[in-house]
Amino acid sequence: MGTLMLLRHGETTFNAARVFTGLLDAPLAPTGEAQVEVAADLLRAEGLVPDLVWQSTMLRASRTTELLLGHLAMDPEVRSTWRLVERAYGCLTNVSKHDARERFGEEAFFTWRRTLNGRPPAASPEQVAGWHDPAPVADRGPLDAGIGESLSDVMLRVEPWWTDELEPALAAGQTVFLVAHGNTLRALAALVAGMTDEQVERLNIPAGHPLVVPWSDGRLGTARYLDSDAAHVAAAMVAAEGGT
């Protein structure tokens, strides 16, 4: 039986300001670094030791991995892939959630953010010219930060990695830690668990809370947060902001 541990990176400076980051990158905020330390304590208490760590190529994910393994005093193999980078938000990129609601309306905000097939329109050249990446540019593969993705688009890019890399590792009985982003984790959950549109719309994954899922007989079992009470409070706060 394999084990999968999912961890959304710690809170970033953009998260704290409630600004859509997308394929821009941002450093962890002090609150995010503290979240990673708590996550490490929970994983240590659970006795989970990774055989392999997969991470997004973005700074906020790689820094979360670095801090997490440092706190755990572990040195497993770490692999990175652009397929796990955050969703491209198009015209929502670098816009606060409040301003996005005001500018585009509640219906568009919900459709673009929460549904499987809602895709934010592309950013204008003027928008793109005003962006500043506060961190080194990560490997984004063929993705363009200004071209919006739907969650279904993210599922399509995550699927080959799941089939070729993650599923075989779990089938071999490995414990795999996955450090990524709210929307790539949502996409993976929708892909593997066959979630309905409504379930996907309600799914919010809070930053810094370890979510453990067993793998047995070719399928994922029931997921559980290691600190369920705190995770559900944090997820409710994410939902109140408009979702992951």
- The pLDDT, as a whole number, for residue 117 is 94
- The pLDDT, as a whole number, for residue 135 is 61
- The pLDDT, as a whole number, for residue 78 is 98
9 labelled catalytic: yes
Classify residue 212 as exposed, middle or buried by CB count within 10 Å of its CB (0-12, 13-18, 19+). buried
Q: Which of 208, 212, 213 is nearest to 233 (CA)?
A: 208
Compute the CA torsion angle 22, 28, 32, 33 (nearest 10 deg). Answer: 150
Catalytic residue among 9, 11, 201, 209: 9
- The pLDDT, as a whole number, for residue 217 is 85
User: Could you tell me the pLDDT band of residue 243, with boundaries at 50, 70 and 90?
Assistant: low
CATH code for residues 2-241: 3.40.50.1240
Q: State the chain's mean pLDDT as an integer.
A: 93
Q: Domain segments of the chain: what residues?
A: 2-241
Determine phi and psi for 19, rounding to 5 degrees: -115, 135
pLDDT (tens digit per residue) in 30-55: 999 999 999 999 999 999 999 999 99
pLDDT (tens digit per residue) in 160-197: 999 999 999 999 999 999 999 999 999 999 999 888 88
Q: CB within 8 A of 186, min separation 6: which ones?
A: 151, 154, 200, 203, 205, 244
pLDDT (tens digit per residue) in 52-90: 999 999 999 999 999 999 999 999 999 999 999 999 999
86 labelled catalytic: yes
Catalytic residue among 11, 71, 86, 198: 86
Only one residue has tokens 């929708």, namely 190
pTM of the model: 0.94
List beta partners, residue 77.
52
